[in-house]
Structure 1
Amino acid sequence: MGASSPLDGDGAGSIAERGSASQRGASTLASTTAATAEPHTPLFTAAESAEFQAIVAECNAFHDYERQYQEVLMTLEGDDILEKFRAEYEGLHSSLLRSHEGEGRLLRKCTDLQSDIDACVEKAAAASEMTLGDRDTIANLKSETERTSHRLTEVREKETHLREAVTALKREIAAQQAKAKDPIEMPEQEAALQSLRRLHETLQREEEQLTQQLRSTSLDMAATQRRIATLLSSNSSNATELRLIREAISKAEEETQMVLERKSVKEQELQAVRDTIARRIAYHTSQQNTLDALVEDHDRNGQELRNIKQEETRLTEEHQGLCRQLQHVNTALQECNEDNDLWQRRVYEKAAELQAQQAAATSMHKRYVKAQKVVEALHRRNAVTEVEKSEQIAKQRDAAAQLKSKEAALALAKRAARTAAKTAVSVREEVNVLQQKITGEASEQHRNAAWLAEKHGQLRVLGSVLTSFEEHIEQTHRELYVVTQEAELSEARTRQYSSACAHLLNGIESKEAELAQYEGSLTEVEARIKQQQALLESMVTERNSYTSHYNQLKEGLREQQHCFSLLLAKVQSMRSSIQKREKDAKLELAHIQLLRQQQKELGAHVTDYQRQAHQRQRRADVLGQEIQQLRAVLSDAAAETARQQRRCNDVLHEKDRLARQVTNRATEIHALYEQACTQQSLLQRHEGLYNDQTQQLEHLQYQTLQFAQQLEQMRMFIARLPELRVLLNNATRELQREKVRVQALLDDAYHPVNVHPYHELASAEPETYALLQRVQKLQRVLVQRQNQLEEKEAAIQSVEQRYMKAKATVAHQPGPEIAEQLTAYQQNLVKKGQHLRQMQEALEFFRSQTDQFKARHDVLRDRLAEMGKMYAASRAEEERRSAAGASTVATSTTPHPDSPPMSAEPVVYRGFVAPPRATTSTATTSALVLTPPPVRE
C-alpha cells in the first residue's frame, strides 16, 4: 500500500496542475472577455469553474507527490529484477511531467491568444472610429465639390459674355476693314492720296494688331475652355473616387460585422467542444483495461507524446518563421507608411510622386501575393497534417478495437479541420477581394498619373505658345523701333533740307527785289517766283509725309539740289545781263516802243494769268474742302481706333480677371486633389491595418484549434489515470508475489540444473513465459515501426525540399504586376502620341499663319514698289512734257544776235514735286518775260 500512494498522488497532482493552469486561463479569459466584449458568453460554465477550484486545491500537493515518486524510484534502484518495472515507472513519470509542462504552455498560449483577441477588438473599434472620421471628411469634400461646380457655372457664364464681346469686336473690325477698303476717288490730288495711303497703312497695322490680339484672346479662351473641361473631368473623377471610397467603407463595415459574427460562432463552437470534452472525460473514467492494454497504451502513448513533441517543436519553428514573416511584413508596412509620408511632403514634385506611388503599389501587391502564398503553404501543411492524422487513425483501427472513442475524437478534429478549411476559403475570398481593391487603387493611380501627364503637356504647350507670342511681339516692337528711328532720321534730314531751301528762297527774294528796282517789268517774274515759293512750301509739307519712302526722298532731294543749282546759275546769268543792261541803257531806249508793244501783249498775258489764278483759287478752295473732309474722316478714324483700343483694353482686363479666376479655381482643385490623396493614403493605411488584424485573427483561430486538439488529447490521457491507478495496484500485488518467487528462485539457484531458463520458466510458470514471448513480439513490432517512421520522415523531408524548390521557382516567376506595368506604359505611350500629334497640329497652324503673314507682307511690299514706280514714271512724264513745252517756246522766239547765249534758255522749275500744270500760253509768256529785249541799231 505504501507503493500505491505515489501513483495516486501522481494522478491527483497532474489533475491539480491542469486544474490550476486551466483555472488561471479561465480567470484571465473571463476578465479579458468582460473588459473587451460584454455580450460574449464566458468560456467556462459554473460546474467547470467549481471543478477547477477543486483541482486548484489539489494542485498545492504536487511537490509532495513528486517527492513520493522520487522515494519510490530510489527504493527500486538497487533491485535488478524490477529494473523493467522501474524503467516503465520512470517513463510514466517523465510522460506525466511532460504533459504537465505541455499543459502549462498550452494555458499560457491561451492567455496570449485571448490578449491578442482583445487587442484585435480594440483595433477594430479604432478602425470604426476612423471610418466615422473618414465619413466626415468625405462629406466635407462633397460640399467643396458642389461649391467648385457652382463656381464653374459662373465661369461658363462669364465665358459666354466674353465670347459675345469678342464677336462684337470682330464685327466692328470687319466693318472698319470694309470702310478702309472703300476707294476714295480724288484724282489730281497727290497729297490727299498720300495721306489716305498713310491712313490705310496705319489702319492695316491696327488691324493686324487687333487680329493678333483677337487670336491671342481666342487662344486664351480655348485654353480656358480646355481647363474648364479638365476641371469638369477631374470633378467627375473625384466624384467617382468618393463613391468608391464610400463603397469601400461600407464593405469594410460589413467585413468587420462578419468578423464579429465569426468570432461569436467560434466561441459557440469552443463551448460545444468543451462540453464534448467534459462528456468524453466522464465516458473515459468509466472504462478499465487490463495490464496488457496498459503496456500497449503506455508504449503507444509514449510514441504519441514523442510525435506530439516533435510536432510541437516543428509548429513552434513554423510559428517563429511566421512571426518573422509578420515582422518583415510590419517593417515593410512601416516603410510603406514612411514612403507615403514622404509622398505627401513631396506632393508638388508630381513625377517623383507618381513613381513612388507606382513602386509602393507594386511592392504592396508583391507583399499581398507573398502573404497569399504563405496562406496557401499553411493550407498545404494543414492538408499534410490531416493526412498524417488519417494514417494514425488507420493504424489505431488496425491496432485495437478499443480506440473507437479516439476515432470519434478524430472525427471531431476532421470537422474542425473542415471548418478551418471553410474559413481558409473565406479568407482566400477576402484576399481576392482585397487584391481587386488593390488593382482598382493601382488603376486609379495610373489614371491620376495620366491626368497629371496631360496637365504637364498642356502647360508645356501653353508655355511654348506664350513664348512664341512673346517672341513675335518683341520682333514687331524691334521692327517698329527701327522704322521709327528711320522716320526720325528722314524727318531730321527733311528739316535740314527745308531750312536750306528757306535760306535759298530768302536769297532769291533779295535778288528779285534788286531786279525789281532795276526793271518794273520783272514784277511778273517775282510773282512767278512767289508762286514757285508757295509750291516749294507745299512740297516741303508733302515731303514731311514721305517718312516711309526714304530712298525716293533721297532721289527727290538730289533732283531738288540740281534744280536749285540751275536756278543759281540762271540768277547769276541774269545779274550779268542786268549789268550789261546798265551799260546798254542807251540801247534800251531804242527798245521802248518794242517794249510797249510787248507790254500790251503782257497785259493780255496778265489777264490770262489772273484767270488762271482764279481757277487755281477755286481749285485750292475745293482742295481745302476735301482736306477738311479728310481731316474729319481721320478724326473719326482716330476716335474709332481709340474706342477699339479701349474695348481691347477692357477685353484684356477681362481676360486677366478670368485668368486669375481660373488660376484660383486651379489652386482650389489642386488643394481638393491633395485632400483626396491624403484621404486615399489614410484609407490604404487603415486597409493594411485591417488586413494585418484579419491575418492575426486567422492565425490565432488556427492556434486555438490546435491547442483545443492538444487539450483534448491531454484530458483523454488524464481521464485514463484512474485505470492506471488500478493497474498499478494490481502491479504492486503482483510485485509482492514476484518477490516471493524471486526468493524461491534464489534458493533454487544454489542448486543449478543444466536447463535453459525459459524451459524451466515454461514448465514452472507458463503465464510468465507467455508474457515474455508477448514482450519479444512487441519489441520486434516496435523495431519495425521505428524503421517505417524513419522512412516516412525521410520521404517527408524530400517532399518538403521539393516544395521549397517549387515555392522558390514560383516566387521567381513574374506576377500580374508586370502586366499592369505594361498596360500603364502602353497607356502613357498612347497619351504621349496624342500630345505629340497636338503639338504637330499647333506647329502646322503656326507655320500656316507665318506663311500667310509672309505672303501678305510680300503683297504689300510689291504694291508699295509698284506705287513708287508709278509715281516716278508720272513725275518723269510730267518733266518730259514740261521740257518739251519749253523747247518749243525757245525755238519760236528768235533772240537778238548780240544778246548773250544764257538769256535764250527758258526758266523752267525742276523739283521733287510736279510744277503747276502750264498751258502753252503760260509757257510762252514766261519765255517772253525772261528773254531780253532786242538791241536797237
Structure 2
Amino acid sequence: MADNDAAILESMTETSASTSLDALRRHVSEGQVCQAPHQADTGSDAFLSGSIPASTGISTSTLHTNNDDDDSAYGILDSIVKRAAELTVVQKHDRGTTRMPSSGDENGSETQVNGPRPSDSPVDDASLNMEGLESAIAYLVADGSDTHLLRLADVFNRLKTAYVSSKQSEAKLVSKCKELVAEISHTATKVNKAVVLCQKDRSTITLLQKEIAKAWGVVEASREKELKDQETIQALKEEVDALNAGSVSNMALAAPHRRRETLAGSNNDEVGFRQLLAEKEQLGRDLCDANLRADTLQSELDDARTRLEAMNNDRLTLDIEYGELRDVLNTKKSDLERENRNKEKLESTLKSLTETVIKRDQELLLKTNESRVIKENLARLEASVKEERTRAERAEKEKEHLVTRATRVQHEYEEQVATTQKLLSDNQRYEAELSKLDVDAARFRDETRNVTRMRDQLTKRIKQLEAIRLDVEIERDQYKSTSADRTHEIELAKKEVEGLKKQVESLTRDRDVAQKSLVKAAGSAQRHLSLVRVAERERRNLEHEISGHKEEATKARKLIWALERERDSRAGEASRITEQLQAREEEFKLKEMLIFDGRKRMDDLERKLKEQQSLYENVRTDRNHYSKNLMECQDEITEMKRKIKIMNHQIEQLKEEISLKEAAHVKQNFEHNKLEKEKEGMSLTIGKLQTQYEEVTKQLQNQRAEEARLKHIIDDADAQAARLRKDHEATLQERDLLGTQLIRRNEEMHLLYEKIKLLTSTLASGESAYRERLEDIRVLKLEVKRLRREGAVLKNEAANSDVLRNEIFKVQRELLRERTRVKVLEEELESPMNIHRWRKLAGSDPSTFELITKIHALQKRLIAKTEEVVEKELAVQQATRLYHDVKISLQRQPGPEVLEELRMVRSALKSKVSECKSLASELNMYHSQTNEASFTIEKLGQELQDLKRRYYEEKRKEQALHKTRSDAPEHDVGLGGRPLCVHDWG
C-alpha cells in the first residue's frame, strides 16, 4: 500500500511539475506576445529583481540577463525544468545526497541538496518535494506583478488540494473497508451459531418423534391387551351364565334322597364360581391399570406435542433471525462491493491521470524542441519585424477597430442563433413532455378504471359474504331451535365454509394478479427510463451537430451586415417565442394540477378500498366468532346429553331398587315363591347387566373410533399449521425484500435531492452571470450605434473632398490587402499552424487587445455556462421524473395489504390453535366418559357380587331347611291321621 501511495505521489508530483511548467512556459510565451517591448522589459526586470530561494536550485545569475533579449523567459523556464527533473530523479532513486550544478554560477560552485533518507517513506519525500515546489513558486510569485505566475500558483494550489483530498478519501475508504470486514466476520459467526442451533433443534425433533412413535407403540399394545381382557371377560360371563343355568336345573331336578350329593356338588360349583369371580376382579384391575397407562401415555403424548410445538416456534424464531442476519450480510456485502468498485474507479482514474501525465511530459519535450526552433526563426525574423512595425501600426489600429466590430457583430449573431436554437429545443422538449404527460394521464385513467372495477368486484364479494353471514346466522338460530337435524346442517355449514375459503383463495389470487400488474408497471417505467436515456443520447448528438453548424457559421462572416439588419426582426420573433413559451409553461402547470387532482382521486379510492377491506375483516371476525359460539353450543348439547344419560341410568337403578323393595314388602309371606321370583329377577338383571356391559363395550369402541378420528383431525390441523407457517415465512421474506427496496429508493431520493440543490445553486449563479453578459451586450450595442453615427458624419465630411480621394483609394487598396491578410490570419487562427506566431508589434494598444481577449474568454465561458445550464435543467427534469416514478412505485407497493394478510394468517392460526384446544378438551371429556363407564362397570360388578351373595345366603337357608326336614322323623302322624309335612308347619 505504501509503495502504491509512493508511486501515485511521485506521478502526481511529476504531473504537477510538468503541467505547472507547461502552463508557465505557455503563459510566458503569451505574455511575450501580448505585451509591448517596453512592458516586457519592465516585467522581466521586476521578475528578476525578486529574491529566489536556494532550495529551488535556480541561481539569480541565471535569471539576470539582458532586458532586450526575448529569451529571458525561456531561460527561466529551462532552469525550472532542470530543477523539477532533478527533484524527480532524487525521488525515484532515493539517493542520500545529490549535487545540483548551478546554471549561472561562473566559478562552477555547487549547491548541496539533501535527498531523502532511506528510512523516510515515499509519502514524506513527496510532501517535502511538494513543499519545495510550493516555496519556490511562492518566492517566484512574491512580486505579484506577473499574472501568468499567479495562474501557475493557482494551478499548483488546486493540484495540491486535490492530492490532499484524494489521500483523505483513500484513508476513509480503507477504514470503512476494515469496519465492513469486521462486521461481515461478526455476522458470519452469528450465522454459523444459528446454523448450529438449527441442527441441534432438528436432532432433538427427530428424537422426540422417535419417542412419540415408541409411546404410540405402547398405546397400541395396551389397546390390544385391553381387547384380549375384554374377550376373556366375555368368555367368563358366558361360563357364569352356563353355571347359573346348570345350578337352576340341578335344583329343580334334585331328589330328597340325593341332597347331600347335590350339597357337595354345589360346594364345588361355589368354589369354581369364586375362582371365576377372582379372575374377573383381576381382569377388571388389569383393565383399570391399562386405562391408567393409556392416560399416562396420552398425557406424555400431549407433553411431547407441546414440546414439539415449542421447539417448532423456537425453530421459526431462529429461522427469522437467520433470515435477518442473511439480509444484513447481503447488504454489507453489497456495500463492500460498491466501495470496492469506487476504489477501482479511483485507481483507474489515477492510472489514466498518470498516463496523461506521461503524455504531457512527452508533449512538453516536443514543445521545448519546437520552442528552440521557433527561437532561431524568431531571431532571424526579428529584424524584418522591427522594420515593418512602424508601417503596420496605423493599419493595425484600423484592423483592431474592424476586428472589434466584427467580433461584436459575430458575438451578437451567435447569441441570437443560440437563443433561437435554445428556444426551439425548449419548445420541442416541452411538446415531448406534454405528450408524455398526456400518455401518463391516459395510463392513470386506465389504472383508476381498473381500481374502480376491482373495488366494485370486492364490494360485490363483500355483499355476497354478508348475505352468507346472514344465512349462517339464520342457520345458527335454526340449530338452536331444532337440535335433531344438527349433524346435517353442520355438514352444510362446513361446505359453505369451504366455499368461503375458496372465495378467499380467489381473492388472494386476484391480489397476486395485482402484484404481477405492479411488476409489469415497474418494467414499463424502466422501459420509459431507457427511452429517456435514448432521447438524451440523441439530444447530445444533436448538440454535437449544432456545434458543427456553429463552426460552419463562422465561415459566413461576409453576411454579418445583412444579419445585423435582421436582428431586430429576430428580437420580435424571440419575444413572440418567449410568450409562447410562457403559455406552454402555464399549460404545463395546468396539466400538473390535473395530474395532482387525479392523484388525489386515486388516494380517495384507495382509502375507500381500505375501508371496504376493514369491513370485510370485521365480517370475517364475526363469522369466526359465530362459528366458535356454534362449537361451544354443540359442546354444551353433548354435555347435556351425557348428563341426561347418566340421570336416566340413575332413574332406572332407583326404579329397580323400588321394585325390588315393593316385591320384598308384598311377598314376605311367600318366601319360597319370592326366592324363585328373585332368581328370575336375578337372571333378568344379569341379562340386563350383560346387555349394559355390551353397550358399554360398544360405547368404548365408538369412543376409540372417535379418538382415532380426532387424532386424524389433529394431524390435519398440524399439517395445515405447517403450511401456514410456510406461508408466513414466505410473507416475511417478501416483507424483507420490500423493506430493502424501500431503503434503496429512499437513498436514491436523498441523492436526487442533493443533486437538485446543487443544480439550483448553479442555475442561480448562471442566471446572475447571464444578466451581467446581457448588460455588457447592451453597452456594446450602444457603442456600435455611436461608431456608426461617427462613420456617417465622416462620410458626409469626406464626400466633397477631391484631395482625399486618391488617398482613400490607396487606403482602400491597403485595406483590401489587409483584409486578405486578415482572412488568411483568420484561417490560420481557425487551424493554427504555429502557436507562437501571434505576437504584439511595437506601438500596439495592449489594453484594447486584452479587452478583446477578455471578451472572447467571457463569450466562451458564457456559451459553456449556457450549455451547462441546459444540461443541468435536463438533469433536474430527469431527476424530478425519476422522483415522481419512484414515488408512484412506492405508492403502488402493497405494504398495508401484506400486513393485513399477515394479520389474517395470524388470526387463522389462532383459530386453529383454539380448535386444537377444543379438540383436546373433547378428548379429555371422552377420557372422563370412559372413566365413568369403567366406574359404572365396577359398580355393576359390585351389585352382581351382592346379588350372588344374597343368592348364596338364600341357598344356604334353603339347604339348612332341607337339612332340618331330613333330620325329622319321616312318618310322624299329625292330628288328622296323615303324615306331617313341612308345608303344614309353614
If the TM-score is normalised by the length of the shorter chain, which range does it land in?
Answer: 0.3 to 0.5
Q: TM-score, normalised on structure 1?
A: 0.33
Q: Considering Cα pairs closer than 8 Å and 6+ residues apart, tell me whether 1 or 2 has the greater RCO.
A: 1
